[in-house]
Amino acid sequence: MTQVSPAQSAEKPAWLDPATKPFIRVEGVTKNFNGFTAVDNVDLEIYQGELFAILGGSGCGKTTLLRILAGFERPTSGRILIDGADMTAVPPYERPVNMMFQSYAVFPHMTVEKNVAYGLKKEGAPKAEIQTRVKEMLELVQLDGFAERKPHQLSGGQRQRVALARALVKRPKVLLLDEPLAALDKKLREHTQFELMNIQDQIGVTFIVVTHDQDEAMTLATRIAVMQAGRFIQCGTPKEIYEYPVNRYVADFFGTINLFEGTVSRVEGEGMEVECGAIDAMVKAKSFETIQPNTRLTIAVRPEKISITKEPPDHNDKSVLKGVVWDLGYHGNLSIYRVKTDSGVIVQVSAQNRIRSAERVLEWDDVVYLSWDVQSSVVLTE
Amino acid sequence: MNRQRSTFLITILCFGYAFLYIPIVMVVIYSFNDSRIVSVWGGFSFRWYLQLLENRQIIEAALLSLRIAFVSATVATALGTLAGLALARMGRFRGRILFTGMIAAPLVMPEVITGLSLLLLFVSLQDLVGWPGGRGAATITIGHITFSMAYVAVIVQSRLMSLDESLQEAAMDLGGRPFRVTLDITLPIIAPALLSGWLLAFTLSLDDLVIASFVSGPGASTLPMWIFSKIRLGVTPDINALATVIITIVSLGVVIAGWLMFRQEKQRQRDVQ
Ligand SMILES: Nc1ncnc2c1ncn2[C@@H]1O[C@H](COP(=O)(O)OP(=O)(O)O)[C@@H](O)[C@H]1O
Ligand SMILES: [Mg+2]
């Protein structure tokens, strides 16, 4: 197909280019259910062709936000704009968006073909056009041989694809997907992830995917919004969120991270030294915000950013810890070390296995030095 | 120990079923009795069935009953479905339990009271607006509609409660307006529940003696009314034959309704997977 999603083809991503207009704007949307705030003052801009993930634990308001976008819930306050038009009060059957439900909601009394054709029939499309578009769509989701089957004769993965085809055949401007892969088993899930990305790439529709699985969000999304208790706490590319989490919750949610609490002892321009009592060490860090001495904060370090050596490192611009190997695990391409510092804290370190050898370089109870760069210390003030 | 208990249980079960079914079996057996005296066995014969066919009164009463049952079941299904849809659609609102309870109240109301209140209603309506002109088939039908509608509404509502709401939302999301969605999605999916509701309403109407007796007029006798008036003069063997015919029809209805509900339950379990 000729259409290419702008978010992926442009030199500069759409959300950084002030010339592109956001396709969907969510302005200060709040939703109350009898006094309980499920969605709390959410602002959001999504650009055409994006694959945007909304990530958060169960019950944090993801589905509610999606249902507001689809038109099933009216926000208590705030506005929804799609392609410049105010959609806040428009009923679901008149919105240019389609939704794929968490339960798939495939019509049990209709064949696969009739399910997919339903939306086009309601549009009043001519019969011949319906037929060709349904056929195309069934090919796209690889269900060509299943047109005459009823939903109960399909597997979970096939039903999921019927739901996808049924929503996509309408050529919506935005497709909303509520935990599209949660009901599939692990193997099928990974396979389907890539299928979804392929399809999205082929037809260039904007996808908004809700998920509680951070790996899924990382793999799929152009950008991720992390949600907690109805609020957006961080929004950015997967890399930004992984490397620059804004608080402990986000840092902990994405992969493993070592957290050290401490007090700022010295500030010098952007740089600072943080005295971390628990590991009994001075940690060097940098922050773009101005931070006053004696502030209490948390330093976060990813396991793969820490180097592990038998000799003390010779550069003195690094943060250094000394400890013994407490536990180690071999994971093919990676070795995971759990190192116990002299003060008794366990620090996790991962290292690439670059050298092919049956013998380990490091063994249990070896004395080791852990060190990392200034840039690798993430400063978390919340 | 286990074995003992199971023989004990089986004995109780046999007693229970015997208590329920021996009277019915007696009626069926004696309907084939050749003797004119009901309690004496005089050999096997179909003569009472043949005699039934020649009795114009019985045939007329049976036809009236069937007609009333058909019309009242159909109207009750339509109205009860609307009521069930409305109750399920309105979502959670204050006093929902009260409304749901109120629709089920006629199910537990003594028939004598339902009959009496309907009679009062018809009489005062006649005084006020001159309708209904007289009591008969029409008033019986209306009476039957009022109480069987409650059964249908309860069946439909409970089916809708277990229906995944996202099916209707998905249809709306695909461009279906709420009314079309009800026709395209909701009604076809709950169709088996509607059919079993109809069958239930039909058998309830065929069955009813009390309400019909209250609201009927001189010209119209339903089958149960006719039988009841005959019994007062003593049981004749042709009534056994008639009873057997009715038992057959009613049990067919019940079996079909039960089978439909069973199939629907299985379908639902499959949908859930
Ligand atoms: N219709 C509703 N009425 C009352 N509370 C609701 C309703 N829908 C959702 N909620 C509440 O809002 C919160 C967020 O729900 P939801 O958006 O479904 O979370 P998620 O999809 O992130 O798991 C939950 O605590 C839920 O109980
Ligand atoms: Mg959800």
What is the nearest CA distance from A129 to chain B, expressed in angstroms? 17
Chain B residue nearest residue A169, CA to CA:
B174
Q: Which residues in B lie closer than 8 A to residue A124 (C-beta atoms)?
A: none
Beta carbons of A98 and B173 less than 8 Å apart? yes
- Kind plus residue range of the DSSP H or E element containing A63: helix A62-70
pLDDT at residue A5 tops 60: no
| Domain A6-96+172-250 homologous superfamily, CATH | P-loop containing nucleotide triphosphate hydrolases (3.40.50.300)
pLDDT of A3 reads: 41
Please spell the DSSP secondary structure of A216-257, one letter per residue: HHHHH-SEEEEEETTEEEEEE-HHHHHHS-SSHHHHHHSS--
pLDDT at residue A318 tops 90: no
CB of B187 less than 8 A from some CB of A? no
pLDDT of B4 reads: 65
Residue B65 Cα to ligand 1 middle (Å):
52
Residues B189-217 have a mean pLDDT of 90
Q: In chain A, count of helices (H) and strands (E)?
A: 9, 20
**What residues contact residue A248 under an 8 Å CB cut-off, 6+ apart?**
A259, A298, A300, A380, A382
Looking at all shown ligands, the one closest to residue A62's CA atom is 1
Please spell the DSSP secondary structure of chain B, one letter per residue: -HHHHHHHHHHHHHHHHHHHHHHHHHHHHHTTB-SSSTTS---B--HHHHHHHH-HHHHHHHHHHHHHHHHHHHHHHHHHHHHHHHHHHT-S-TTHHHHHHHHHHHHHS-HHHHHHHHHHHHHHHHHHH--SSS-SHHHHHHHHHHHHHHHHHHHHHHHHHTS-HHHHHHHHHTT--HHHHIIIIIHHHHHHHHHHHHHHHHHHHHH--HHHHHH--SS---HHHHHHHHHTT---HHHHHHHHHHHHHHHHHHHHHHHHHHHHHHHHHHHH-
Residues A281-288 have a mean pLDDT of 87
Q: Which 8-state DSSP code applies to residue A14?
A: G
pLDDT of A10 reads: 47
Which of A245-249, A315-319, B153-157 is least confident? A315-319
Q: Are A111 and A148 in contact (CB under 8 A)?
A: yes
pLDDT of A2 reads: 39
pLDDT at residue A338 tops 50: yes
Q: pLDDT, tens digit, for every residue of B68-92?
A: 999 999 999 999 999 888 887 776 6
For residue A7, name the pLDDT band (cuts at 50, 70, 90).
very low
Residues A101-123 have a mean pLDDT of 94
Spell out the SS3 assignment of A281-310: EEEEEECCCCCCCCCEEEEEECHHHCEEEC
Mutate to test the pocket of ligand 1, among A40, A54, A63, A176 (most ligand atoms within 8 A of CB): A63
pLDDT of B268 reads: 67
> Who among A71, A98, A107 is closest to B167 (CB)?
A107
Beta carbons of A152 and B166 less than 8 Å apart? no
Q: pLDDT, tens digit, for every residue of B34-49?
A: 888 877 888 888 888 9
Burial B223-245, CB ≥16 within 10 A → b, else e: bbbbbeebeeeebebbbbbbbbb
Which of A78-87, A240-249, A323-332, B89-98 is least confident? B89-98
Q: How many CB atoms are closer than 10 A to CB B123?
A: 13
Residues A326-334 have a mean pLDDT of 87
- Compute the distance between CA of residue B47 and CA of residue B241 in angstroms, rounded to an integer: 9
For residue A359, name the pLDDT band (cuts at 50, 70, 90).
low
**Chain-wide mean pLDDT for chain A?**
89
Chain A residue nearest residue B190, CA to CA:
A109
Q: Which 8-state DSSP code applies to residue A342?
A: T
Class of domain A256-380: mainly beta
Chain B residue nearest residue A92, CA to CA:
B173
Q: Are A88 and A80 in contact (CB under 8 A)?
A: yes
Provide the CB-side half-sphere exposure for A349 (13 A, CA).
Answer: 28
Please spell the DSSP secondary structure of B66-134, one letter per residue: HHHHHHHHHHHHHHHHHHHHHHHHT-S-TTHHHHHHHHHHHHHS-HHHHHHHHHHHHHHHHHHH--SSS
CB of B269 less than 8 A from some CB of A? no
What does the domain layout of chain A look like in residue ranges?
A: 6-96+172-250, 256-380
- Compute the distance between CA of residue A263 and CA of residue A245 in angstroms, rounded to an integer: 19
Which of A20-34, A211-225, B120-134 is least confident? B120-134
- Compute the distance between CA of residue B242 and CA of residue A186 in angstroms, rounded to an integer: 65
Q: Are B106 and B219 in contact (CB under 8 A)?
A: no
The ligand 1 atom at the shortest distance from the C-alpha of residue A102 is 21
Residues B44-65 have a mean pLDDT of 89
Which of A179-193, A334-348, B210-224 is least confident? A179-193
Residues A317-339 have a mean pLDDT of 89
pLDDT of A334 reads: 87
pLDDT of A333 reads: 84
What is the nearest CA distance from B39 to chain A, expressed in angstroms? 54
ipTM: 0.81
Question: When comparing pLDDT for B269 and B251, which is higher?
Answer: B251
pLDDT of B219 reads: 78
B residues 165-184 lying closer than 8 A (beta carbon) to A: 166-167, 169-177, 180, 184
Closest CA to ligand 1's atom 9: A64
Beta carbons of B174 and A166 less than 8 Å apart? yes
Beta carbons of B167 and A105 less than 8 Å apart? yes
Q: Are B69 and B137 in contact (CB under 8 A)?
A: no
| Domain B56-234 homologous superfamily, CATH | MetI-like (1.10.3720.10)
A319 CB-contact burial (10 Å; exposed 0-12 / middle 13-18 / buried 19+):
buried
3-state helix, strand, coil in chain A (%, to 5): 30, 35, 40
What percent of chain B clears pLDDT 70, i.e. is strictly above it? 95
What percent of chain A clears pLDDT 70, i.e. is strictly above it? 96
